[in-house]
Amino acid sequence: MLVCRTKAELKRELSELRKAGKSVGLVPTMGYLHDGHASLLRRAKEENDAAVLSVFINPMQFGPNEDLDRYPRDEQRDLKLAEQCGIDLVFMPAVQEMYPSKPLTSIIISQVTSRLCGASRPGHFDGVGLVVSKLFHLVQPDRAYFGMKDAQQVAVIEQMVNDLDLPVEIIPCPTVREPDGLALSSRNVYLTAQQRQQAVVLSQTLKRAEQWHQEPQMTAGALIAKAAGHIEEATEGTIDYVELLTFPALEPLHPDMPLSEGSGRLILALAVKFGTTRLIDNCILDLSEVNGNAANHDEV
């Protein structure tokens, strides 16, 4: 496994792979890898001749008073996991290497960034767009792998790729969870024992929502209210948002719209703060299931 610290090293090694006609899969991360990242790495290795991991804590996507300085880091642990997953090349640049001077170029993706984390973290996705576009240009992967735990990020990057005709296929991958359902996150290490116990309510709420949304006459507004109420009753966490949107366009629904009259896919997205730790989670709801069930019921 090769470790590159500079763009020049990365370019040299990738040139050799390209000369050999090998396909390349990229997994961009901010490090402190866990089993969720490992699932992306293994899939990248399975579906490509060569798999590249990038580890870079991108300061451009952190706002004022966010957790950039205390974001968890463990380089040796990351390298060990990457090697176990069969990664061919790891790109671990310093901030000065990625941004030798203050960037004067912005990648602004509108509409899909106006809600959820984009609303509560202004500028966050501008920073994501910038660093991901840089990584795509540096690595020139055939495929790039992202976890659906951050479904808005997947939607934003897919929009950027489509708009700019970037020659990379985006591969969304399922959220990996702890045995009790908590979505794996590098930020989970911040939770106290009590907060960790309460945090599982996010996945429990989503699991219930998969049943609630099929109830007769369930509306968009009622589903949001039931989800928010369940979180408030079961935890001491502070809700940042509970939203039900179309996916991947991330457009809001009229609160009174019966879900049985809808079509396509929706995302129920949650963000809750436990102390100073903000956790996100989501599930995709397929309205064809609702309409299909209704149609079957009418036939009976």
Q: What is the pLDDT of residues 211-255, one digit of tens each?
A: 999 998 999 999 999 999 999 999 999 999 999 999 999 999 999
Distances, alpha carbon 197 to alpha carbons 38, 125, 149, 177, in Å: 24, 30, 19, 14
The predicted-structure confidence for 82-116, as pLDDT tens digits, reads as follows 999 999 999 999 999 999 999 999 999 999 999 99
Q: What angle do CA 204, 205, 210 make, to 5 degrees?
A: 100
Please state the rounded mean pLDDT for residues 37-62: 97
pLDDT of residue 200: 97
Query: Could you read off the pLDDT of 61-71 as tens digits, one per residue?
Result: 998 878 888 88
Residue 179, pLDDT above cutoff 60? yes
pLDDT at 283 over 60: yes
- 149: which DSSP letter? G
Q: What is the pLDDT at residue 292?
A: 54
Residue 37's nearest CA partner among 77, 97, 7, 66 is: 77
The predicted structure's pLDDT at residue 97: 98
In the prediction, which pLDDT does 299 show?
Answer: 32
Residue 173 confidence (pLDDT) above 50: yes
Task: Give the C-alpha separation, 245 to 114, whole Å.
Answer: 12
Q: Any idea which residues carry the catalytic annotation?
A: 37
Separation of alpha carbons 205 and 229, rounded Å: 10
CATH number of the 186-299 domain:
3.30.1300.10
Q: The whole model's pTM is what?
A: 0.92
Share of the chain above pLDDT 90, in %: 88
Reported as a pLDDT band with limits 50, 70 and 90, residue 291 is low
CATH class of 2-173: alpha beta
Amino acid 296: pLDDT: 36
Alpha carbon distance 262, 143 (integer Å): 32
Residue-averaged pLDDT of the chain: 93
User: Among 86-90, 208-212, 285-289, where is mean pLDDT lowest?
Assistant: 285-289
Higher pLDDT residue, 67 or 12? Answer: 12
pLDDT of residue 298: 34
Q: Which run of H or E residues covers position 210?
A: helix 201-212
pLDDT at residue 117 in the model: 95
Structure tokens at 179: 């045995």
Looking up tokens 């399922």, which residue turns up?
174
**Confidence bin at 263 (pLDDT 50/70/90):** confident
Domain segments of the chain: what residues?
2-173, 186-299
The structure tokens 């979180």 sit at 231
